[in-house]
Amino acid sequence: MAIIEIENLAKSYRIYQKSEGLWAAIKGIVNRKYKDVDAVRGIDLTVEQGEFVAFLGPNGAGKTTTLKLLSGVITPSSGTARVMGYVPWKREDAYRRRFALVMGQKNQLWWDLPAQESFRLHQQIYRVDPDQFDRTRDELTDLLDVTRLLKQPVRELSLGERMKMELIAAMLHSPDVLFLDEPTIGLDVVAQHNIQKFLKFYQQKRKITILLTSHYMKDVAALCQRVVIIAQGVIKYDGSLAGIVDKFSGHKVISLQLADQARFDDLDRFGQVLEVVPPKAKIRIPRAQVARVLAELLASHPVEDIGVEDPPLEEVIAEVFSQVDHREATQEEILAAAEKA
């Protein structure tokens, strides 16, 4: 069953074009120039119940704008969207009680109060039954191992601990849909792993639908089976994680180990030499030439071990993003316009 249904959804902003210099600024008071910026350009997307979907794209691609549209924070310029049957920007209370939005660069907890006080406030806002609230809070704090920190002011917590508290606050009312915008941004490797492990376990246990944006490919690889790539405000790819490599990467990496005293100075004739640490080396070659290169290597070099791998996912994603033409507006312009909307 489709939980999220998006059809031709678009969002544009009108941005003031400020000129440099005093005289230009004075002229701009009476003759202001604007330009229209398309943050999202007519996307179509369907997400089924219980899916964990990664929403990827370069800065300014429209990821966060889409999440804000789906959570009702902003209204679209055109198009339609329904989440669990609700139109998000109508902001009905019944809808607000069934989803949650967590933004890694924003916080919803009171800075000077212990997290447990903010949790109680959320209980009142969402009208959660006291017994259910206690059970959910205890379950979440136990899973994230932060029970001992509930009485500590939020400002005294580490970044990773604050992020855990943010996730707890978002899930206290047991949402059916969760929007996560860069939930592990700025966290160290241990904190990232703990958040990943929690999200994977909780999503599988509760079967909630999650839409995740992240620049950390380890988040995506650990959590998501389906990946949507958005660039220039439109969807460029929608499919499996493995399919990204097949579609966008035209190369393979050959790892080989040669016998002692073998020559390494002629490996560049087979492809791009990535690394040579005798007796091992790595060569990057076009996919179409794998069979030929393997045969020539085995015939001309004393190979003791050899393997063929896809390039790292991070490298493939970076290559995809680098192929995207630069937007007319910068990410800073879009964010500035969004803040004013």
The CATH number of the domain holding residue 304 is: 3.30.70
Closest CA to 57 of 325, 321, 329: 321
Q: Is the residue at 151 inside a domain?
A: no
Q: Is the residue at 161 inside a domain?
A: no
CA angle 84, 197, 125 (to 5 degrees): 45
Q: Is the residue at 124 inside a domain?
A: no
* pLDDT confidence band for 285 (50 / 70 / 90): very high
Q: What is the pTM of this model?
A: 0.82
Same domain, 182 and 293: no
Same domain, 229 and 333: yes
* pLDDT confidence band for 328 (50 / 70 / 90): very low
Same domain, 186 and 305: no
Same domain, 44 and 72: yes
Q: Give the mean pLDDT of the chain.
A: 88
Q: Is the residue at 66 inside a domain?
A: yes
Round to the nearest angstrom and report the end-to-end CA distance of the chain.
33
* pLDDT confidence band for 324 (50 / 70 / 90): low
Closest CA to 116 of 151, 91, 74: 151
What is the percentage of the chain residues whose pLDDT exceeds 90? 63
* Omega of the bond leading into 279 within 30 degrees of 0 (cis): yes
Same domain, 61 and 30: yes
Q: Is the residue at 132 inside a domain?
A: no
Helix (H) or strand (E) holding 283: strand 280-286
What mean pLDDT comes out for the span 103-112?
A: 84
Same domain, 221 and 285: no
Residue-level pLDDT at 145: 93
Same domain, 53 and 73: yes
Range of the domain at 302: 250-309
Q: Is the pLDDT of residue 332 over 50?
A: no
Q: Which of 87-101, 206-220, 237-251, 320-334 has the lowest mean pLDDT?
A: 320-334
Q: Is the pLDDT of residue 286 over 60?
A: yes
Residue-level pLDDT at 195: 93
Residue-level pLDDT at 59: 81
Q: Is the pLDDT of residue 334 over 60?
A: no
Same domain, 237 and 257: no
What mean pLDDT comes out for the span 215-242?
A: 89
What mean pLDDT comes out for the span 169-197?
A: 92
| Sign, Cα dihedral of 191, 134, 107, 6 | positive
Q: Is the residue at 144 inside a domain?
A: no
Q: Is the pLDDT of residue 251 over 70?
A: yes
The SS3 assignment for 251 reads strand
Q: In what order do the strands lie in the sheet with 52-56?
A: 99-103, 177-181, 209-213, 52-56, 226-231, 234-240
Same domain, 12 and 66: yes
Residue-level pLDDT at 330: 47
Give the CATH number of the domain where residue 84 resides. Answer: 3.40.50.300
Same domain, 234 and 335: yes
What mean pLDDT comes out for the span 289-312?
A: 92
Q: For the chain, what is the domain count?
A: 2
What mean pLDDT comes out for the span 55-84?
A: 92
Residue-level pLDDT at 331: 47
Closest CA to 46 of 5, 92, 100: 5
Residue type, 110: W
For 144-288, where are the alpha helices, taking DSSP H only? 159-171, 189-206, 217-223, 241-248
Same domain, 6 and 82: yes
Q: Is the residue at 6 inside a domain?
A: yes
Helix (H) or strand (E) holding 308: strand 303-309
Q: How far apart are CA 199 and CA 144, in angstroms?
A: 10
The SS3 assignment for 129 reads coil
Same domain, 258 and 328: no
What is the percentage of the chain residues whose pLDDT exceeds 70? 91
Provide CB contacts within 8 A for 133, sequence distance 6+: 119, 123, 172
Q: Is the residue at 335 inside a domain?
A: yes
